[in-house]
Amino acid sequence: MIKRMNRYIASIIFLIFALSGFSQNSAFTIFDSKGKKVSFEKMANAALKKDYVFFGEYHNDPIAHWLQLELLHYLYKYHPQIIIGAEMFERDNDTLIQQYLANQLTDKQFEDSCRLWSNYKTDYKPVLLFAKENKLSFRATNIPRRYASQLYKKGRVSLDSLSQEEKSWIAPLDFPVDTTLSQYENLLKGFAHGGLSFVSAQAIKDATMGYFTGKYYQPGSIFYHLNGSYHSDFHQGILWYLNYYFKVPYERMFTISTVSQKNINKLEKEYLGKADFIICTPENMTKTH
């Protein structure tokens, strides 16, 4: 506990001294998809023009979490019709989120009842509190982890026996899996045995997040979705399913990815085209957990 607190304090101190005024320095660099350095404002203004904004994070990167919150502030300032969704909250906990937003649960009641990631208080609670304070919609979008695990271990057919309520927390069970997508193709190559089951378990997460992102979107709003970068990199994953279920053109979607390099002054070739904008942080950056 003390060790984690020290790491968190170190992160805060670093951010205070390194991130003031969005000036790009040794803390981070933002690139466009072609590898050109850009400002935070350029990235944020580009996001304002889209209906769906996917912030692909490294879950333990303090820079990504800080920029994630700052982008939310920026979007809200110029386009207050914001809906927030997050991979970090599972669909069966969405009712708890709605009760918390409506002040029907205290912080303690919510945190004791909801399945929360270990870095919730430092990295995601500020986003949820911003939604609460500004009366914004905030939705859990991810499949309950136990069902993705069940699919991996027992196959898709095992989900047929779920109750109607349980099925309501998941994308339709006939979801397709396009193994020609590079993200899934790479997973298959990495898992010679049981690879398709593993890919399907990842795909049902993407399908569920895409399905509920589309379901909760309201015309005229910006849906701001937080997820691990893998789930939106190369405009695949969640975006593919959003297009599949709701025919949302990719032109209405916007992606940010996070990468880590030793030298953050030039984007490495393998990351070009990974997202509309790429946030690059140092490999030795302090982690939040």
* Nearest CA-CA partner of 200 in 176, 183, 216: 176
- Specify the pLDDT at position 21: 44
- pLDDT at residue 157 greater than cutoff 80: yes
Dump strand ranges (E) for 40-123.
52-57, 82-90
- pLDDT at residue 238 greater than cutoff 50: yes
- pLDDT at residue 185 greater than cutoff 80: yes
- pLDDT at residue 62 greater than cutoff 90: yes
Q: Residue 99 falls within a domain, yes or no?
A: yes
- Specify the pLDDT at position 22: 46
Handedness of CA 100, 104, 107, 111 (dihedral sign): negative
Average pLDDT rounded to a whole number, residues 175-201: 89
Q: For residue 104, what are the β-bridge partners?
A: none
Structural domain boundaries, residue 241: 2-18+27-282
Strands of the 253-261 sheet, one edge to the other? 37-38, 29-32, 277-282, 253-261, 52-57, 222-228, 82-90, 137-142
Average pLDDT rounded to a whole number, residues 47-61: 97
Q: What is the pLDDT of residues 215-229, one digit of tens each?
A: 999 999 999 999 999
- Specify the pLDDT at position 19: 46
What percent of the chain is modeled with pLDDT above 70? 90
Q: Residue 258 falls within a domain, yes or no?
A: yes
Q: For residue 140, what are the β-bridge partners?
A: 86
131 residue type, one letter: A
CATH number, domain of 158, equals 3.40.50.11550
Q: What is the pLDDT of residues 122-154, one digit of tens each?
A: 999 999 999 999 999 999 999 999 999 999 999
- pLDDT at residue 10 greater than cutoff 70: no
Q: Residue 289 falls within a domain, yes or no?
A: no
Q: What is the dihedral of CA 58, 206, 252, 79, to 10 degrees?
A: -60
* Nearest CA-CA partner of 227 in 113, 110, 79, 90: 90
Q: Residue 190 falls within a domain, yes or no?
A: yes
Tell me how many domains the chain contains. Answer: 1
Report the distance separating Cα 151 and Cα 99, nearest Å: 30
What percent of the chain is modeled with pLDDT above 90? 85
Report the distance separating Cα 250 and Cα 88, nearest Å: 24
Confidence category of residue 195, pLDDT binned at 50, 70, 90: confident
Report the distance separating Cα 174 and Cα 133, nearest Å: 38
- Specify the pLDDT at position 13: 45
Our measurement of the distance from residue 142's CA atom to the centroid of its chain's CA atoms, rounded to an integer in Å, reads: 10
- pLDDT at residue 18 greater than cutoff 80: no
- Specify the pLDDT at position 193: 65
Q: Residue 287 falls within a domain, yes or no?
A: no
Q: Residue 272 falls within a domain, yes or no?
A: yes
Cα 219 to Cα 36, 222, 286, distances in angstroms: 32, 8, 39
Report the distance separating Cα 52 and Cα 33, nearest Å: 17
- pLDDT at residue 5 greater than cutoff 50: no
The answer to which of 58-72, 118-132, 193-207 has the lowest mean pLDDT is 193-207
Q: What is the pLDDT of residues 250-266, one digit of tens each?
A: 999 999 999 999 999 99
Residue 145: helix, strand or coil by DSSP? helix
Q: What tokens were used for 270?
A: 């393998």
Q: What tokens were used for 63?
A: 């820079």
Q: Residue 244 falls within a domain, yes or no?
A: yes
Measured CA angle at 200 (ends 191, 182), to 5 deg? 65
